[in-house]
Amino acid sequence: MLVVETNDLTKIYDNRYIALNALTLNVEKGMVFGLVGPNGAGKSTTFRILLGLQKATAGTADVLGEPMSAERADLRRRIGFLPTNPRFPRNLTPIQYLEFVGAICGLPADRAKVQLARLLQAVDLTTAASQRIEGFSTGMLTRLGIAAALMNDPELLILDEPTSGLDPSGRKQTIELIRELSGRDRTIIIATHILGDVERVCTDVGIISAGRMIYSGPMTEMRRLARHGTVSVEIEGNTTAFEQQVHTLDEIGSLAWERLGSEFRITFLGAEPLPNYVQRVLGLVDRTGVELLHIRTGADEIEEAFLRRLEEDRTRGFLRAAAWAATQDLQAGATPDAPGAPAIPAESETRDAGIPRDPAV
Amino acid sequence: MQAFLAILRYDLGQLARSWLVRIWVALLVAPALFLTVVASTENELASETLGAYLGAVLAPLSGVAVAVITAAAVSGESGIIADAILSRSVTRTEYLWAKIASRIGVTLGLYFAIVIPLIYLVTRYAVNDVSAAGVLVGVLMVAVLLGFLAALGITLSTLMRNVLMAVLVLLLVIVSSGVVLQFLGLTWLSTTAVLNDLPDTFRGDTAAWDSVRVLLLFPMMSVLALAAAVWTFRQKDL
């Protein structure tokens, strides 16, 4: 069952800024889905639309099997949300605020009290429970936000940068908490910049760039893709000979490499299994007579894969722009009604071809 | 309904803690007591005393206070509204109606809480020249004016994110409305005209139609303003 399903979700602010560009996101029940992307990629906008806080310009957003809108409080009752750098009524104490959230969610007062006490302990805010929120640090606000998101024991938990502003121990605690919360039919979506967090807790991952989903799949697949083709060797001895022959490891243009001191990081762009590449690198080490100090595959693997995906998407973007420019030239050279003039494709055809009709889009 | 009640309770708590409301109450109560004492010792007419209090003290002071508390109703929470409230199981309609109920409720509740005892004291200790119907109509006329001001403030609050701007625009509308209404030949609709005629109204000397049209028109305009506020707020991206 799909807990979140968006189709061609598009958000354009004031006809000026495209925050989401036909985004398709599918999250199944029980997943811990990591939404990764650079700043301004559209992660928070996606969440705001999924919560009915913003309206989509086009496309659909279904949550828990039903279309979400501003008036769907019944759907939001089943969702917990932690925004980035959350802001709360400053003159309340955590207890008062969580009581308020409990009342909004329709929890009976006695049950809300039990729940808030348990949650304040879980997020380590028991000692600050009687202090006013206005004196809280960013980390404390985030922890209070997590507690508020869990007040209604949600089926779907949406966490926007849950570890932002937290110190290392707070971060570890939060990651542990998310791990504990996963499973038990609960679905979690986490947006973050910290790829290590995604790797530690997520079962699935989606990479969002410029409002589009450029990759979505299981974490294991992402790891496999990441590991695929990256071999790092640290060598000593005749490194110049090694350096001169690196390019012979594969066909020209199907590998990239860089030297970082005595370490060579070689990325194979082909589709062969990783052991083949490792074997070839070891062969070269043998041939050049260098001393092998260290060999590893897929260092910083997720980050590498993430950056590679973004880079590929950017390249494709340039190609799309070039293709669009070509169609503009063609149209400028022929009047629309003239016989033999190229027909302007229908909107769906244009999108499928990756060529937007409007330069702004 | 639970969300509506929770937000109503929360907002009333916020208003109770507000220094603006406390100062507003103090500034209304002190002159009311002073005028009662003066009216009784100087044998003033009850109609003139009540008219002076409502026109010269309550209306301007409450005008400013109501402008601030209503124009800040939504815009004052623009930072927390999405993160802390509307991302939970609350509809925008519930949220806004809770705000409307709380802000207009506090405005009118405080007004009646001060004016009703004042009327009792003034009619008892000053020269009683008022009619019961006249007092009822006069008090209701000021109430509908305050209600309209509050409704307009809430509407501006949903339109603007900046509290100060919303308050300034509201005050500007009030101040400039007199000139505009005079230009349009609708002087009877201006707050100044209604307040100036209050002593006559208390005595029961105002023509029934003059009172009825004010009592009908201002609530209608308030309803229109609130409908616009609800519509705007439901369309808004947070």
Surface-to-core class of residue A181, CB atoms within 10 Å of its CB (0-12 exposed, 13-18 middle, 19+ buried): buried
Q: Do domains A2-218 and A230-297 have the same CATH topology?
A: no
What pLDDT does residue A336 have?
43
The length of chain B in residues reads: 238
Q: What is the pLDDT of residues B140-188, one digit of tens each?
A: 999 999 999 999 999 999 998 888 999 999 988 888 888 888 888 888 8
Contact B17 A91 (CB under 8 A): yes
Could you tell me if B205 lies within 8 Å of chain A, comparing CB atoms? no
Q: Which of B5, B89, B235 sits opposite A76 (nearest CB)?
A: B89
What pLDDT does residue A225 have?
67
For residue A337, what are its two tokens? 């009604």
| Mean per-residue pLDDT, B77-93 | 86
Q: Which of B87, B235, B238 sits opposite A76 (nearest CB)?
A: B87
Q: Which of A76, A88, A91 sits opposite B84 (nearest CB)?
A: A88
Chain A residues within 8 A of B91 when measuring between CB atoms: 70-73
Q: How far is it, in rounded angstroms, from Cα A68 to Cα A52?
A: 6
What pLDDT does residue A226 have?
64
- From chain A residues 126-185, the ones with a CB under 8 A of any chain B CB are 145, 148, 152
CB B43 within 8 A of CB B84: no
Q: How far is it, in rounded angstroms, from Cα A282 to Cα A245?
A: 13
Check pLDDT > 50 for residue A299. no
Q: How far is it, in rounded angstroms, from Cα B129 to Cα B123?
A: 8
Could you tell me if B230 lies within 8 Å of chain A, comparing CB atoms? no
Instruction: Give the total number of structural domains in chain B.
Output: 1
Q: Which of A89, A91, A105 sits opposite B84 (nearest CB)?
A: A89
What pLDDT does residue A37 have?
85
Could you tell me if A48 lies within 8 Å of chain B, comparing CB atoms? yes
What pLDDT does residue A331 have?
62
Domain with B139 in it: 2-235
Q: Which of A71, A103, A106 sits opposite B92 (nearest CB)?
A: A71
- pTM here is 0.78
Pick the CATH number of A230-297 from 3.30.70.2470, 3.30.70.100, 3.40.1160.10, 3.30.1450.10: 3.30.70.2470
- Residue B70: which of B179, B176, B173, B153 has the closest Cα? B153
| Mean per-residue pLDDT, B15-37 | 93
Q: How far is it, in rounded angstroms, from Cα A246 to Cα B204?
A: 104
Contact B82 A53 (CB under 8 A): yes
- From chain B residues 66-125, the ones with a CB under 8 A of any chain A CB are 77, 79-80, 82-94
What pLDDT does residue A38 have?
82
The least confident of A67-71, A282-286, A338-342, B189-193 is A338-342
CB A272 within 8 A of CB A227: no
Pairing relationship of beta strands A263-268 and A255-260 according to DSSP bridges: antiparallel
Contact A73 B91 (CB under 8 A): yes
Chain B residues within 8 A of A81 when measuring between CB atoms: 87-88
Which amino acid, residue A12?
I
Pairs of CB atoms within 8 A across A/B: 82
ipTM for this model: 0.82
Q: Domain map of chain A by residue range?
A: 2-218, 230-297
Split at pLDDT 50, 70, 90, the class of A261 is: confident
What pLDDT does residue A313 have?
67
What is the maximum span of chain B, computed from C-alpha positions, in angstroms?
Answer: 59
- CATH no., domain A2-218: 3.40.50.300
